[in-house]
Chains A and B, each alone.
Chain A
Amino acid sequence: MIRIIGPTLAAAALTIGFAGIGESLTGRRAHSLGDLNRAFLIGGGVLAAALFPASLLFGGRALGVELGAAGAGFLVFWVRHLLGSFNVRGAMKWLPSRVEPLTLLLAAPTIVMMVIFAVLNLRTGLLWDGFQIWATKGFLLFHDGALHAELWNASDLIGRAGRIVNYPSLIPLFEALQARLTGHFVFDQVSPVFQIFHVSLIMGTWEAARRLTGRTGAWFASSLVALLPEISTGTAAGGYADMPQAAVIAAALAAAADPHERRASWRAQVPWLCVAVMTVKSEGTLLVVVAVTMALLVMLTQRRGRDRLPLRSFVPWVGIVGSAFALRIVHLAWNHHHDDLFVTLNGAAFIRALHRFPEVVGACSRVLADPRLWGVFWLAVLAVAARSLIHDDGFERWLSAFVIADVLVFSAVFLFSTWPVALHVSQAYSRLLAQVAPVGAVTLTVGLWRPLGAQWHAEQ
């Protein structure tokens, strides 16, 4: 237990350093833990996106340059917050404002599951991807100081290890920077990184739901997410990147739910958080494309014209997200490493997909409705989202469209897999769903809480 104190302090310092960068970029000083969470993810995302160009520019010194940037962020954060006054009341928005039995009842599962996750994460070693992919990328980054086009000499000989070079960098970067601060990379000491992301996930979900439903609904949504086995146990505790991906998506959702952050400015948090989403897992890029497509569709089919926003004012957002997208494409081209997990998209692939369609639908449906994995979570989310898609407008409609599209897109990828359908779905689908579980929880909370909350308040 004592061995983990150093890495925990290092991870905490890096969190502050990332937050300092995030605050500087968005020009918004954190007044609450939710603000701090979003600033941390923005700073981390930008550093991760910058790692590839930094590797080209500085070679083996790239990690040192990134550590320097995080150090500067750390100093800027403290100077800004010590010179200004930290809003303690604002920061405490995270805690229940007064002791209401219902709020306590809803908050209790969140707190219990956070403790359970912490114990599991510290107690168990890394599981397959946590070790072979994510921590390995961090380990190599720690030793080499930069990204390389090949994992190591002859890494493609066995185990398809070569494809790891294509994976995005936020988690490995965090692990490598933490190791630089402690002086050595120990695989069993990367746990604090995941502790931070688990807290971040709960905070992001809480904030997103609070903006849409209020404080009690926020605890309901955060408990829903925390109680999901894919989020708080198993591979999430074993160092996989799906839970951190969910954390960044939750924070992006919280920012998007804030009308102030939907302003068309390059300092708005939403586009920077979209960049962060693209730096955790490869699927992040796909999710950003889905989110933008659904936003455009909802805006174009808006029933209330007064909410319609002029698209051309979003040029700064397009610039930020487009730059990150371009960097990702160039990085993949530079690696020149074909991932044999999916077939090349051509006419034959689509005909093959057509034949696999019934099998994919069956396999994905079984996972979605598996009571041991998800209970009735996804069935309820999809039912509520379908209703909202028809009856709601604006942000709630986008939320429903986004969650439905996520489930469909994540199912559709298996049409183009090179693996047998049943095997690939059983290995990956549940983890893909975990990435968008906060979106599902907030959708469900909005759908249930508004009518229930209104009735409850009316009875009071």
Chain B
Amino acid sequence: MDGVVQLADRISPTRQAGAGTTRAGEQARAQRFAVSIPLRYRERSQQEWSEGYTENISSSGVLFRGTKETAPRTPIEMSLRLQVNHEGVAEVICQGTLVRVSPGDGAEAQPAMAATITHYRFVRL
């Protein structure tokens, strides 16, 4: 079974051209990184973006803090700005759903929100 998954994984990313779908099987394996990346997010039905930053992130989910508390189970769109090299700046547009919200506390004023990432695409800026 592992062999099959490995093969699918190996083919999948090279088949993609800057976009992807996170499959259920990947969620258990995705590496999680404690990196602070600026992000914007909004409910999928809304126009207005709110700002935040990631606390940790994998390719299947993200924990972030943001200026606007949003209700769990809300489908959201997130935009991560990757601004780290001389090749330029990229934006990763992610689709997902908020799964958990914790209010800000004394040390961190902004609420913490956990969201799944089900689809993403890279956009060069």
Do A and B assemble together?
no
A positions within 8 Å CB-CB of B: none
B positions within 8 Å CB-CB of A: none
